[in-house]
Amino acid sequence: MTLSPRHLLLLVLLTLVWGLNWPVMKLGIGHLPPLSFRSLSMWLGLPVLYAAVRWLKVDLRVARSDWPELAKLTLTNMLVWHVIAILSLQALSSGRAAILGYTMPIFSALCGRAMFGERLTARQLGGVAAAAVGVALLLWHEVAGMAGKPWAAFGMLTAAAIWALGTQQLRRTRIAASTLALTWWMTVATVLVMTLLATAFEHDRWQAPSAVAWGTVLYNAVLIFGFAQPAWLVLARGLPPAASTLSVMMIPALGAVSGALWLGEKLHWQDAAAIVLMAVAIGTVLWPKRPPTAIASPAGPDTDRRSQGA
């Protein structure tokens, strides 16, 4: 497995943008109803995404015969995640939500093994184990808080598991269209459904967004739906599953730290230990493999000269 400089740059930017977004989202849903916040962000993100795909001259056509599979990918990669995660975030701290949401790589590894017969190398298994221990450490001081809100914790874990399934499905899709074309249509379908849900359940709470609310919405519109979501799908479809999932495991650590700095959420020594373990998990998939050692011929130089003379 080799990762190009472009892939590495996307992974770094993706980690920063998504990690910082957890306290941004928590702040946003403090000013707007959650489904409405997400829908408004996606509507404003669509022109950004469209401008990007047109600038890159991406063909947005998807064959009619592929629409059922596209609908399935939309459900598992976007719709379930965006709806359940934003609703669960209401009852969780931003750091806790990020930690639970990014159990996705662990679910992805288990899903790939159970459903698709994927074999993980010893190094990749070590990465999954390090990530799992890191998540457990990050949750050390959160269990008591989750005990009173089990539905939110369960919802975030469910969303992560379904997102993991979607990542595996996207990796194996036979749709011939480009990943950015799939991203466009999945985003369009998701925002339409979320807008219907927001209208049905939140219309009585609608109000003019404040300046802070607009800032959080624009962050999500431009950086999440205009960049991070399509970048993730490109990586998830183009890289091996272990690389595309484990390599973003720093996001919950960044989410926990930024939540502490911006929203006053507490940090403990377990957080620092977890960050180290997340870095180990990333290293298991990003560190280059050692090239195979050349095996010397047992025949020796005389044999080589005889073969040359022949």
Asked if the model's pLDDT at residue 55 lies above 60, the reply is: yes
The full 3-state SS of the chain, as one line of letters, equals CCCCHHHHHHHHHHHHHHHHHHHHHHHHCCCCCHHHHHHHHHHHHHHHHHHHHHHCCCCCCCCHHHHHHHHHHHHHHHHHHHHHHHHHHCCCCHHHHHHHHCCHHHHHHHHHHHHHCCCCCHHHHHHHHHHHHHHHHHCCCCHHHHHCCHHHHHHHHHHHHHHHHHHHHHHHCCCCCCHHHHHHHHHHHHHHHHHHHHHHHHHHHCCCCCHHHHHHHHHHHHHHHHHHHHHHHHHHHHCCHHHHHHCCCHHHHHHHHHHHHHHCCCCCHHHHHHHHHHHHHHHHHHCCCCCCCCCCCCCCHHHHHHHHHC
Average model confidence (pLDDT) across the chain: 82
What integer pLDDT is reported at residue 142 of this predicted model? 63
Average the pLDDT over 112-126 and give the result: 76
C-alpha to C-alpha distance for 25 and 207, rounded to whole angstroms: 18
| Contact assessment for residue 204 and residue 92, using Cβ atoms and an 8 Å cutoff | no
Q: Which of 38-47, 95-104, 209-218, 284-293 has the lowest mean pLDDT?
A: 284-293
- Note the pLDDT tens digit of each residue in 223-277: 999 998 898 888 877 776 556 565 566 777 788 788 888 878 777 777 778 777 7
What integer pLDDT is reported at residue 263 of this predicted model? 79
* Residue 45 vs residue 136, higher pLDDT: 45
* Residue 262 vs residue 42, higher pLDDT: 42
Asked if the model's pLDDT at residue 134 lies above 70, the reply is: yes
What integer pLDDT is reported at residue 1 of this predicted model? 47
Average the pLDDT over 133-159 and give the result: 74
Average the pLDDT over 119-130 and give the result: 77
From first CA to last CA, the distance across the chain in angstroms is 40
| Contact assessment for residue 128 and residue 278, using Cβ atoms and an 8 Å cutoff | no
- Note the pLDDT tens digit of each residue in 295-310: 444 544 454 444 444 4
Average the pLDDT over 189-202 and give the result: 97
pLDDT band at 101 (very low <50, low <70, confident <90, very high): confident
Share of the chain above pLDDT 70, in %: 83
pLDDT band at 110 (very low <50, low <70, confident <90, very high): confident
- Note the pLDDT tens digit of each residue in 9-21: 888 888 899 889 9
